[in-house]
Amino acid sequence: MRTAPTILHLDMDAFYASAEQAAKPSLRGKAVVVGGLGPRGVVATASYEARKFGVHSAMPMGQARRLAPHAAYLVPRFRLYRAISEQVMGLLGALSPLVEPLSLDEAFVDLEAGEAAWDAASAEAVGRRLRADIRRVTGLTGSVGLAASKMLAKIGSEEAKPDGLVLIRPGTERALLGPQSVRILPGVGPATADHLRRAGIQTVEEIAGAGEDELVRLLGKAHGSHLYEMALARDERPVVAERDSKSVSVEDTYDVDIHDRVQVRMEVRRLAGRCVERLRAAERSGRTVVLKVRRYDFSTLTRSETLRGPTDDPGVVREAAARLLESVDTTGGVRLLGVGVSGLADFTQEDLFAQFAAAEEAAAEELEGESAAAESAEAAEPEPTPVERKWLAGHDVRHAEFGPGWVQGSGLGRVTVRFETPYAVVPGRVRTFRVDDPELAPAEPMPLVEDAEGAEGDQAGSSSTPAILPNVTSGD
């Protein structure tokens, strides 16, 4: 293990919920829960105010509503979260070529590889600047852990939450970990902790004292040996730079099982289109189309088809997904559908059959249009029933008269909108409209920081004091 605390772990604080609070002045300082709002929805992130009521990630949304009935419940806005994540990852990339993202809001950085830090003092200075830069650029806060290994850096950032910095000096790791609960170690969940407790092991020091042979007997060779190494603060894993994605996929879970086979086909077609949009956005193509179906009884089936060459043609992916669906029995109902493309490449192999299929499809559509026009000349067709627009709680809208706002809720043919922007200092006004109001339209998320240049001076010196743990230095 290295001799300087130059591994940095960044974890954004309650990321999704914090982003929503920053975007919506009326929710600042209040309980906010982000996740799926349907009967089968789960919590993605809860604000710290909501966590006081016992709400946490991965909790069923129904349980969260019982614990915190007055919280704001919002549907995720992943486009906003990805945009913020790109800003944060850009700041990390400026520190070192070795950045290992774990998710949108979490990453390891090897500061030594980027020559950004070489000892405790320089590493801590980098951590402080990073937190200030994140606040200046995104308006959000992140917690930083600094140590000589990935495991300890992650433990440090957890102890630093929220909005803090913890530096663990080499040589103090055993004294720090010893009295802590076994749950502080990565990979030790409730089941493993309970198994160890029944064996009389409740602290990290007791894991080390038990010895590797005893842990292997209790937990098996791989888990037992790994846990013993962690208890001794041994972690030689390097920071690995981001690897290219091996696949692109999209999936949806439905509040009510889909039984209609025609609707299932339409959903697969729609998901295939979304998948290709992501594929093209990444400037990639793929050779294998994958269909995922989770049925009413929770059984999950996966089917795949490998094409003759990489493609990003939506018609080809839709047709392949449709063929795969024909081999799946959906009689009892479907609760989840997904379409993915793997075997990614940086180029697209032209598919003549795809071109012919597209040309034939366009010609067929043209003939259908001409036929429909001829029929309408003979007899007027009844107008189709308009589809009611869906307004998701928390999502952005814009009204022709009142400007930008966000959906507070909808139902019974009405939608309630609060008109405010991230830059307002007081909550905005609330108005209600018909769901089909022609002056109301979906909108793109607004940046959380209106003027990053001007915000720099305002944020100077605003970082909170880093936490101080036993054998841990904060530099203040």
Q: Phi/psi at 237 (nearest 5 deg)?
A: -65, 130
Alpha-carbon span 394 to 64, nearest angstrom:
17
Beta 414-419 vs 429-434: how paired, if at all?
antiparallel
Alpha-carbon span 195 to 89, nearest angstrom:
38
Active site residue 100: no
Quickly tell me which residue has 């289109």 as its tokens: 273
Tokens standing for residue 373: 């026009």
Checking 197-205 for CB contacts under 8 A at 24+ apart, the result is 203/178, 203/179, 204/177, 204/178, 204/179, 204/180, 204/231, 205/177, 205/178, 205/179, 205/231
Q: Residue 467: which of 174, 158, 107, 184 has the closest Cα?
A: 158
Query: What residue type is assigned to position 448 of the chain?
Result: L
Q: Report the Cα–Cα distance between both ends of the chain, in Å, rounded.
A: 27
Alpha-carbon span 416 to 97, nearest angstrom:
46
Helices and strands (DSSP H and E) totals, the chain: 15, 18
224 Cβ contact partners less than 8 Å away, ≥ 6 residues apart: 212, 215, 216, 217, 218
Residues 20, 100, 106, 420: which is the catalytic one? 106
Alpha-carbon span 27 to 8, nearest angstrom:
31
Beta 440-442 vs 334-345: how paired, if at all?
unpaired
358 Cβ contact partners less than 8 Å away, ≥ 6 residues apart: 313, 315
Say if CB 402 and CB 412 are below 8 A apart.
no
- Burial zone of 89 (CB within 10 Å; 0-12 exposed, 13-18 middle, 19+ buried): middle
Say if CB 311 and CB 317 are below 8 A apart.
yes
Beta 106-110 vs 142-147: how paired, if at all?
unpaired
Q: Which sequence positions are flagged as catalytic? A: 106
